Amino acid sequence: MFEKLKEIQAQSFKNFLPQNSHELEWSTVSNNTDKLNNDYTFAVTNYHLAYLASHYQVINASIILLSNNKPIAIWPLNLAKINDNWQIQSHCKGIMPPLFSSQLSDKHKKAIYKQCLSFISRCQQLFDIATLESTFEPNTDALWLQTIAPHISNINYKHTLYLNLEQSTEKIKASVRRRYRSYINKGLDLWDYSIGTSISADEIEEIRLFHVKTAGKETRSVETWQQQRNMVNNNQAFVVTLRDKQQTLIGAAIFNTTDSQGMYSVGIYERSLFELPIGHTVQMLAIEHMKKIGIEDYFIGYRDYEFEYHQPSEKQSAIGYFKEGFSNQIKLEANAKLIF
């Protein structure tokens, strides 16, 4: 399958490099863009590959596109065999558009987009892919939408939650849902906290085992936790922990970061203390740290309204309601089904 993938890539793109083992070239593009989204970092791409590999057969299809032998675009992609069917996707969602270096012209972008569509179409035929989906932000990816529009059979939208951290600390705190403010103060009185910008092997193992305990099972591989440890130690993430007065771990969360964006990656909270404000306290500590290190936007997650398609579970909607209490911006994420 890997050899077939390489053949399709060579047929579709004039000049490219595979993502693996080319971190410098990948970073040349990601470091030359305005407000880098965490989904386009080398580390997050590797994390999702490790996550998928712990559940499915997966092939890394991510590429770096070149012009005059210089990196100009990056495209996170993978082929995953899920329920005996191959899917092409970005991370664990629909195909995202490539990310371009900031100086690239729209004319050049359109030419690359056409190559991308050729590649997607060839993949569908060769791997017998039943469903193709693309995930993008309509406001910022208008050119991608124009390019794929002739191939869209239907489209739906999800609501994404953000916090604008360029506002003053006072305004940020005032935008938090009113009753959450007293919850946070209570949490700070009840528990000890730490914000870690480095993490040892023993510390990440403690968090991993805490996750297994609260989930009731092991939901992902040790490798994924090692990937997250690497991100923290490489200044691409940080970890917030809460402990009771006996120093027992009761809450832990990891937040991915770029120079401009923070992203809520994973949160683990003691189930027996569900009625207490563990998650509220962790969120505010993370927000204050992001503000301190100069991050401009915090992507909290999805709102998961019950009326959305695909309809979220009651639990997902409740988690979305919790996250909404810390946001002051709602954006749309489009999910388009494609036909070739």
Domain segments of the chain: what residues?
A: 2-130, 167-295
Total residues belonging to the chain:
340
Largest CA distance in the chain: 61
Q: Is 2-130 assigned to CATH 3.40.109.10?
A: no
pLDDT value at position 309? 83
Res 1: pLDDT: 79
- Helices 2-12 + 106-127 axis angle, to 10: 150
User: Mean of the per-residue pLDDT values for the chain?
Assistant: 96
DSSP reduced 3-state for 65: strand
Query: Is the peptide bond preceding residue 108 cis, with omega within 30 degrees of 0?
Result: no
What fold, for 167-295?
A: Aminopeptidase (3.40.630)
**What global pTM score does this model have?**
0.95
Give the residues of the chain that fall short of pLDDT 70: none
